[in-house]
Amino acid sequence: MPKVSLNTPAPDFSLEDFHGQSFRLSDYRDKSNVMLVFNRGFI
Amino acid sequence: MAQLRQDFNEFVKRQTKIVVVGQEDGGAFAAYWRENELPFTGLPDPKASVLRLYGQEVNLFKLGRMPAQVIIDIAGMVRYVHYGHDMTDIPPNDEILALLDDLIPIPA
């Protein structure tokens, strides 16, 4: 499975949040840092 | 997740948006966010498209997904990656906040 590497462009993606609002990673470029947290499951 | 909530304002001060991605559906996310009053963005990824894109590991023997954290700077570059080796392998906030303090964006 591919893993991302340091100091390379982050793969862009879009998903809907649980409110149904669109989220696109690249929308945050030039606006803020982003920390992606891949959870271990909370159910 | 409670650890991140506790220091949420420290991340905000460092212009860092916290985004949690998981394979649970929107209903499970909404319930968990409501129950724990989480202030950050939650993205259900039931098809695991982003989980695969970023290489989150699944450990069949430990019956679950391994936690992972990726920090992307304001220029869109990956500046920190941590793939957990077990379910509890999550870097402390202090380590991540120190890294954010030193982060100088690399132009894309």
Q: Give chain B positions within 8 Å (CB) of A15.
A: 21, 43-45, 49-50
Q: How confident is the model at residue B8 (pLDDT cuts 50, 70, 90)?
A: very high
Decide if A3 contacts B83 (C-beta within 8 A): yes
The per-residue pLDDT for B60 is: 59
Q: What's the whole-number mean pLDDT along residues B7-11?
A: 96
Q: CB neighbours of B53 closer than 8 A, spacing ≥ 6? A: A2, A11, A13
Q: Are residues B49 and B66 in the same domain?
A: no
Are residue B43 and residue B66 in the same domain, yes or no?
Answer: no
Q: In B1-108, where does DSSP find H-type helix? A: 2-6, 8-13, 26-36, 49-53, 93-101
User: pLDDT tens-digit profile of B68-100?
Assistant: 999 999 999 999 999 887 777 888 999 999 999
Statement: residue A23 has pLDDT above 60: yes
Q: Please give the residue range of the domain that contains residue B49.
A: 17-53
Residue B104 with chain A: CB contacts under 8 Å: none
**Does B72 share its domain with B94?**
yes
Q: Which residues pair with B64 in a beta bridge?
A: B59
Domain count, chain B: 2
Same domain, B49 and B74: no
For residues B47 and B71, state if they share a domain: no
Instruction: Answer yes or no: is B9 within a domain.
Output: no
What is the structure's pLDDT at B64? 73
Same domain, B47 and B67: no
Residues B49 and B67 in one domain: no
Would you say residue A3 has pLDDT above 70?
yes
Rounded CA-CA distance A3/B13 in Å is: 29
Residue B4 lies in a domain: no
> Is B43 part of a structural domain of the chain?
yes
pLDDT value at A43 more than 80:
no
On whether ipTM exceeds 0.90, the answer is yes
pLDDT score at B84: 84
CB within 8 Å of B61: residues ≥ 6 apart: none
Same-domain status, B97 and B80: yes
Answer whether residue B7 is part of any domain: no
The model scores a pTM over 0.80: yes
Which residues of A, range 4-43, sit inside 8 Å of B by Cβ? 4-11, 13, 15-20, 23, 25-26, 28-43
Q: Tell me which of A17-21, B39-43, B63-67 is least confident.
A: B63-67
Considering only CB atoms, which chain B residues are within 8 Å of A34?
A: 16-17, 19, 71-72
